[in-house]
Amino acid sequence: MRSEENTISGAQIEVRSLTKHFGPVKAVDALSFTAQPGSFVTLLGPSGSGKTTTLNIIAGFESPTSGEVLLDSKPITLIPTYKRNIGMVFQNYALFPHMTVSQNVAYPLQMRSVQKSLIHERIRDALQMVQLEGFEKRYPRQLSGGQQQRVAIARALVFNPPLLLMDEPLGALDKKLREQMQIEIKHIQNQTGVTVVYVTHDQEEALVMSDKIIILNHGRLQQIGNPREIYDQPQNRFVADFIGETNLFEAKIRHENSRSVVALHELGATLDLPVNRSFAAGKCHVSIRPEMLWLENKAHKRSGIEGRIEELIYIGESTKYIVNVRNKHVVIRHPKRVDRGLFKKGDQVVLWFNIADMVFIDGETP
């Protein structure tokens, strides 16, 4: 282990009002964000949200219609791809099929005219980092998906780039392997200190891996924040709905005397709001996560929001209920610890939640 020599000082990457048009389509629309040196930043969004286009512009495969990309404060938009000194892992790995593992890993070093004796050493270190010693002479087609993934990472990092781009690198792997690789990629990133810009459509993956998540939809920025902020305080309905699972209710806040109340007409409930916070009167939306709700048997509680269990889905570590409240479906998740299998399909139940767990989402952003 020669970790000290392998340490890369990650670069800062800044994207400034980046816009890319494909004909009439705005693939990326005035996107700005900054990734601090050594941080793990994820571009998250559904397909067609512009996340891959953004990555392609950073890599230099596409040129932006307007806007700038700065690497350590230097604009790189006009520098050709091969001079940018950025590492990249592709979705399908893009290993050269006519080269062995060690030839693949040597490739970026040969392009940089690294001495032959040094190349050998660096290949060994890089393969050690991804735990692929002994596979030097194999061809990519002789490796499993996970092993190909490791070669791709070794090849992208062997020349110590300050920035690593990853385009849905785990998309082709099965769930178990994907979770293992997530941890391993984080480990390698911590070890090397490289700045990572990661693209995925998998919100769980984004939550697990990122220091900062940038949520995109239709090329437009929806929200930037760390995983906790993104999950706990979604700023609009798209983010609330896209990240995890949630129940969205139409709500109306009004002031009565010295207190504020919120009317959730879909649930037929009007609730007092805490006095220690101020709320603007008017229409808004309320998001309540399924795991923040719980059920009581109607026989035991006489008041509350009433509904009937329409579906019961046993997931193992939790049980998911779909409850019909005035013809609106509300999703509730009971962790195993509190759910003892007392509820059946068709049961009349009462719905409970803490008022503090309501997330108010203003505006009508689609």
Partner 1 sequence: MKSRISIPGAQEKPRRSIDPTFYLILPLLVLLIFFMVVPVFRIFALSFFDPDFTIKHYMKFFQAGIYLQILLRTLVISLMVSVCCLIAGYPVSYLMADVSPKTAKILIILVILPLWTGILVRTYAWMVLLGRQGLVNKLLIYLDLVAEPIKLLYTTKAVVLAMVQILLPLMILPLYATMKGIDRDLLKASKILGAGPLRTFWRIFLPLSTPGILAGFTLVFIISIAFFITPALVGGRKDIMIAMLIESQITTLLNWGFAAALSLILMTMTLIIIGLFHKFIGINRFVGSGDT
Residue closer to partner 1 by CB (options 3, 142) is 142
Minimum distance from residue 182 beta carbon to partner 1 (Å): 22
Residue 162 engages partner 1 in binding (rule: CB under 8 A):
no
According to the binding rule CB under 8 A, does residue 159 interact with partner 1? yes
Residues 6+ apart with CB under 8 A from 46: 201, 217, 242
Which residue, 22 or 61, has its beta carbon nearer to partner 1?
61
Which of 79, 107, 208, 298 is in the footprint of partner 1 by CB under 8 A?
107
Q: What's the token pair of residue 131?
A: 């735990």
Decide whether 111 or 338 has the Cβ nearer to partner 1. 111
Residue 327 backbone class (left: φ over 0; alpha: ψ -120 to 50; beta: rest): left
163 contributes a contact to partner 1 by CB under 8 A: no
The verdict on 134 binding partner 1 (CB under 8 A) reads: no
Q: How far is the CB of 328 from partner 1 (least distance, A)?
A: 45
CB of 131 to partner 1, least distance (A): 20
Choose one: 106-114, 128-136, 187-195, 204-212; the region binding partner 1 (CB under 8 A). 106-114
98 binds partner 1 (CB under 8 A): yes
Q: How far is the CB of 143 from partner 1 (least distance, A)?
A: 8
CB of 185 to partner 1, least distance (A): 18
Residue type present at position 144: S
Does position 366 interact with partner 1 (CB under 8 A)? The reply is: no
Of 123, 169, 166, give the one whose Cα is nearest residue 145: 169
Q: Which is nearer to partner 1, 90 or 279 (CB)?
A: 90
**Can you tell me which of 51, 122, 150, 155 binds partner 1, judged by CB under 8 A?**
155
Q: Please state the closest distance from residue 114 (CB atom) to partner 1, in A.
A: 10
The answer to whether residue 22 forms part of the interface with partner 1 (CB under 8 A) is no
CA angle 99, 56, 193 (to 5 degrees): 75
Query: For partner 1, what does the binding mask look like between residues 44 and 83, x meaning CB under 8 A?
Result: ---------------xxx------------------xxxx
For residue 141, the minimal CB distance to partner 1 (Å) is 5
Please say which residue, 161 or 234, places its beta carbon nearer to partner 1. Answer: 161
| Residue from 96, 131, 326, 335 in contact with partner 1 (CB under 8 A) | 96
Q: Is 243 exposed, middle or buried (0-12, 13-18, 19+ CB in 10 A)?
A: buried
Provide, rounded to whole angstroms, the least separation between the CB of residue 235 and partner 1: 34
> Tokens 């109607």, residue?
298
Contact segment (CB under 8 A) with partner 1 among 20-28, 88-96, 190-198, 209-217 equals 88-96
Q: Is 23 in the site for partner 1 (CB under 8 A)?
A: no
* Least gap, CB of 97 to partner 1 (angstroms): 4
Sheet strand arrangement including 269-272? 269-272, 259-264, 247-256, 282-288, 359-361
Which residue do the tokens 């399909």 mark? 345
166 binds partner 1 (CB under 8 A): no
Q: Catalog residues that contact partner 1 under the rule CB under 8 A.
A: 59-61, 80-88, 90-92, 94-98, 107-108, 111-112, 140-142, 155-156, 159, 165
